């Protein structure tokens, strides 16, 4: 089970963390952070406590930064937040910003014995935020048999065991198909208007973001501003692992972005991806085996992965492009300024992912290069 509470001395962090949605929407979070005592990360013991502390401090940081929207940014993260966040980040090898590992992998607990899931720390966005986190978690969960199949496949190549290899590739294709099914649940749990207008900004970073062109000064850590990318599914180890196994070669620009995203993974995850990269080439093995069954199974993996990436584009179209157009249209209507759309719709990140990529050219490019990884008979 996941740890959901830090030791007693860290009560001041937990109190703020558990009240984030209210503190942010009532514009009180920044003043609360300014009153927070300066705590050292030295009393945190073990990986679980450190990861929970990183989760808590990253959520407080995103709330602090984006409390006033994209026009009300700050240049400095105050010392009593910046210093411990930096210490915890150094200790576990993650950057001092909210990453996919915090937002999804570390941020869930079982709500009851039936295994219903709930998030530990929240931000504005209510049920849609919870849905967004948990659907993303279910996509990761669907990938687990695929990760196990990678290990099986590499072992089978080393042992020249074609039977096991064929089975592993079928399991991988099936897992990727199940990831697409899990991703489809986004429509049931996440309202595009809430995702676009409320949730997205809190996942945004301060690199390649015109709202914070200079990055952020971590007071007490460095006098120079530092720039980090926002949380992004491109930080998920799963897709990097599949690409490495299947020998998919993305464009230079996409590869540069994806490789930079690896710095936002927990170090053991990054090491796993690099190990797959160093393993013998699956594609070469399948090609030289001249085994039609292996070719078919290999292509099924490629095709399932291309389909997953196509479906991701469909979701992004609905949750960003269409949602942006609708928000603009609503803003233009006179008299309809009640409710959450009182603020001007966010514009800075309109065509960008939260990680700062030009989202459509990036997603279409990696989908197309995935398809090009097919073996032609």
The residue length of the chain stands at 377
Is 169 within 8 Å of 297 (Cβ atoms)?
Answer: yes
Task: State the DSSP string of 305-335.
Answer: HHHHHHHHHHHHIIIIIIHHHHHHHHHHSTT
Residue 259 among known ligand-binding residues: no
Question: Residue 196 corresponds to which tokens in the numbers above?
Answer: 């676009």
CA–CA gap between residue 62 and residue 19 (Å, rounded):
14
Distance of CA 223 to the CA centre of its chain: 28
Tokens 């464009």 correspond to 251
Taking the C-alpha atoms of 360, 366, 369 and 374 in order, what is their torsion angle to the nearest 10 degrees? -120
CA–CA gap between residue 278 and residue 369 (Å, rounded):
21
CA–CA gap between residue 295 and residue 377 (Å, rounded):
8
**Alpha helix locations (H) across 78-202?**
79-92, 100, 126-158, 162-184, 186-189, 192-194, 200-202
Task: Give the contacts of 250 (CB within 8 A, at least 6 positions apart).
Answer: 243, 258, 365, 366, 369
Is 162 within 8 Å of 153 (Cβ atoms)?
Answer: no
Annotated binding-site ranges = 312
* Annotated binding-site members for heme b: 312
């Amino acid at each position: 089970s996941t740890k959901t509470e830090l030791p007693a001395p860290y009560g001041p962090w937990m109190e703020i963390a558990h009240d984030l949605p209210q503190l942010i929407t009532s514009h009180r979070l920044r003043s609360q952070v300014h009153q927070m005592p300066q705590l050292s990360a030295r009393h945190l013991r073990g990986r679980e406590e450190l990861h929970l502390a990183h989760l808590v401090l990253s959520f407080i940081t995103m709330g602090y930064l984006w409390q006033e929207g994209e026009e009300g940014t700050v240049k400095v993260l105050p010392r009593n937040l910046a210093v411990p966040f930096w210490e915890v980040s150094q200790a576990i090898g993650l950057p001092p910003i909210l990453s996919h590992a915090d937002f999804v992998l570390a941020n869930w607990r079982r709500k009851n014995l039936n295994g219903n899931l709930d998030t530990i720390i929240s931000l504005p966005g209510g049920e849609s935020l919870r849905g967004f986190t948990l659907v993303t978690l279910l996509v990761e969960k669907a990938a687990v048999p695929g990760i196990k199949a990678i290990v099986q496949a590499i072992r089978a190549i080393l042992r020249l065991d074609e039977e096991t290899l064929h089975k592993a590739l079928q399991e991988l294709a099936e897992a990727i198909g199940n990831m697409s099914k899990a991703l489809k649940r986004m429509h049931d749990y996440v309202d595009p208007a809430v995702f676009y207008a409320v949730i997205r900004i809190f996942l945004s970073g301060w690199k390649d973001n015109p709202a914070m062109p200079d990055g952020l000064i971590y007071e007490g850590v460095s006098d120079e501003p530092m720039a980090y990318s926002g949380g992004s599914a491109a930080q998920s180890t799963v897709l990097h692992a599949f690409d490495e196994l299947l020998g998919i070669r993305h464009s230079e620009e996409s590869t540069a972005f994806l490789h930079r995203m690896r710095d936002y993974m927990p170090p053991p995850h990054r090491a796993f991806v690099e190990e797959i990269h160093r393993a013998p080439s699956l594609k070469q093995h399948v090609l030289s085996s001249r085994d039609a069954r292996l070719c078919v199974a290999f292509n099924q993996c490629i095709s399932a992965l291309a389909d997953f990436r196509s479906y991701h584009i469909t979701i992004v179209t609905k949750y960003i492009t269409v949602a942006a157009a609708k928000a603009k249209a609503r803003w233009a209507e006179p008299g309809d300024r009640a409710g959450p759309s009182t603020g001007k719709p966010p514009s800075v990140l309109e065509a960008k992912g939260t990680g700062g990529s030009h989202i459509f050219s990036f997603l279409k490019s990696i989908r197309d290069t995935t398809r090009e990884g097919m073996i032609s008979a």
